[in-house]
Amino acid sequence: MARVYNFSAGPSMLPEPVLKKAAEEMLDYKGSGQSVMEMSHRSPEYEGIIKGAEASLRTVMGIPDNYAVLFLQGGASSQFAMVPLNLLNKSKKADFINTGTWSKKAISEAKRYGTANVVATSEDKNFSYIPKLDGLKFSPDADYVHITTNNTIEGTKFSALPNTGAVPLVADMSSNILSERMDVTRFGLIYAGAQKNIGPAGLTVVIVRKDLIGNAQPITPVMFNYKTHVDEASMYNTPPCYAIYIAKLVFEWMLENGGAAAMETVNKQKAAMLYDYLDNSKLFKSPVVKEDRSLMNIPFVSPSEDIDKKFLKAVGAAGFVNLKGHRSVGGMRASIYNAMPVDGVKKLVEFMKRFETENA
C-alpha cells in the first residue's frame, strides 16, 4: 500500500509508528478484549490512558505542576470564547497582536465579553510579517495579552515572545505546539486544536496556570468554565477518548525520538530545504519576510493562476497531496508538521525543481 505525502494544514499526517501501534491495539487493547473506542471512560484501563497522556505531555513540554493540562473538545475556535469568558474578569480588557485570520477570529469573539484592544497588526501587508515587538505598549491593567504563535494560513511565526510583564500571555499555539522547544512558564495559557502536531481532530489541549482559574464571568456555561474541567480532571463529561489515546501515542513517539528539541532540529532542516529552494527559484516564491517565516506552514506563489492549477494537478498525481493554498490567500501551501518525514520535503523540492525546468 502506497501512502501519500500529505501536506494538509490539518488534519494532517500522523507518525506511521503511531498508526501501526493503534492498528495493533484496535481490536484488543492490552488484553482488555475491547477497542479503546468501546471502553468506558471511567474504566481503570482508560484512566491509565488519559493519565498517561497528561504525564507524557508534561514531560515533552516541561509543564510545571502549577499548570493544569486539560483535554477538551470544541477546537481552538471554542477557545476564542472560553479564554475571554474565563480570563476577562478584572478590567475586562485584553490586548491582542493581530497576525492573521485566526487572530481576527479570536479578537472578534473576545469583543462579546469585554474590550479587545489591538496593540499591533500586520494587516497592512497581508499579514506577511510579525509586528516588531520592541516598544510595544500593552495596557498595564489588561487581563491578558493574546497572540497566535504560528499563523497557519499566512505562514508566519513569532520567533520571540512579547514582554508583557505581570500581564498573562495567552497563546493560540494550534499550528506550532510541539514543533520546537517552548518555555511554558512564559505563558499564562496555551491552547491548541489537536489535528496538526498532537493527534486526531476532536481534541483540544489547554495548558493553563492554576492561579488564572476560578474567576470566570457569571454567564459562563458550565462546559466553558476551565474550573469545571480542572476539578474533574477533564472527565466532567465524556472526553474525546480515542483522540486522547492517539495523542498519548504521539507524545510517546516524540519522547522515543528525542522530544521537542529533536523535532525542532528536524523541522528547521525541513523548512530550510523548502525556503532555500523558493528563494532561488525563478518560478515560485515565498510571500513571507525571511525573519518571520513559519517552520510548519510554508505558503508559496507562482506568477499565474494557470501555473498554480497545472502545478497542483501534476504534484497531486505524483503523490503529494493537499498543497492548495487556503481559499482566502490562494497559491500553494506546504504544511510540514512533525510527522512529515524529511524525505517528503526532499522529494517535493525535487518535484518542484523538475516542474520549474519543464515550465520555465
Which stretches of the chain bind ligand PMP, using CB under 6 A? Answer: 9-10, 75-77, 102, 148, 152, 172, 174-175, 193
Closer to ligand PMP by Cβ: residue 46 or 80: 80
CA of residue 321 relative to chain centroid, distance? 20
| Cβ–Cβ < 8 Å for 53, 61 | no
**Nearest-angstrom CA–CA distance, 357 and 69:** 50
Q: Please, what is the minimum distance in Å from the beta carbon of residue 348 to ligand PMP?
A: 21
Going by the DSSP 8-state scheme, the letter that residue 355 receives in this structure is: H
Collapsed DSSP state (helix, strand, coil) of residue 15? coil
Closer to ligand PMP by Cβ: residue 193 or 331: 193
- How many Cα neighbours within 13 Å face the side chain of 253? 22
Annotated catalytic residue: which of 143, 172, 292, 308? 172
Residue 196 appears among annotated catalytic residues:
yes
CA-based Rg of the chain, rounded to a whole angstrom? Answer: 21
Q: Please, what is the minimum distance in Å from the beta carbon of residue 191 to ligand PMP?
A: 9
Q: Which residue is nearest to ligand PMP (CB)?
A: 75
Q: Please, what is the minimum distance in Å from the beta carbon of residue 6 to ligand PMP?
A: 15
Closer to ligand PMP by Cβ: residue 54 or 172: 172
Going by the DSSP 8-state scheme, the letter that residue 44 receives in this structure is: H
Preceding amide of 287 cis, omega within 30: no
Annotated catalytic residue: which of 104, 157, 196, 324? 196
| Cβ–Cβ < 8 Å for 236, 229 | yes
Q: Which three cell numbers stand for residue 226?
A: 476551565
Single-letter code of the amino acid located at 179: S
Q: Please, what is the minimum distance in Å from the beta carbon of residue 10 to ligand PMP?
A: 5
Q: Please, what is the minimum distance in Å from the beta carbon of residue 112 to ligand PMP?
A: 17
Annotated catalytic residue: which of 102, 248, 270, 292? 102
Catalytic amino acids?
Answer: 102, 172, 196
